Amino acid sequence: MGIEIERKFLVNNLPAFLADLTGAAILQGYLIVAEGGVELRIRQKRTRFFQTIKMGEGLSRTEIEIELSQEQFRQLWPHTQGRRVSKTRYTLPVGNHTAELDRFDGDLSGLVLVEVEFPTVDASRQFSPPPWFGADVTEDRRYKNRQLAVYGIPGDETL
């Protein structure tokens, strides 16, 4: 069992160097989306397949990931209908950290988010985002992938 410590930001302006990077297509669907930040998702990233359980909300969450076979993924995928996201992920350095920038497709087209994982909560608090990062939406559950998969791009309402 692992703990994920991650901050998430909207992206103000795409960095110019993004054009030089190769992104990885990701299909992600949710089998369970429950109260309290509990989710069970499946994901295809390139030619690999995963099942992930996440528990909790906010900056620090429990995460358990298991690799699936393509056949297991194929059998589960239909059960995610209506709870899916499609995106291209770019991995890039940001200072001493690695950021994952997601450009969403389909119904979420136009949405761009960037996440940075940290080894400790203190390290996450000391992080100074570069100018191309936008608003910090770490604590805004409307920007969690599970919420995006079910409700789409957030408006001005509060969930």
- H/E stretch holding 72 reads helix 70-76
Backbone angles phi, psi at 22, to 5 degrees: -100, 125
| Both tokens assigned to 28 | 């992600």
Residues marked as catalytic: 30
Measured CA to CA, the distance from residue 143 to residue 159 in angstroms comes to 11
Taking residue 140's Cβ as centre, other Cβ atoms within 10 Å add up to 16
Strands 60-68 and 48-55: antiparallel
Sign of the alpha-carbon dihedral angle for 46, 47, 48, 50 = positive
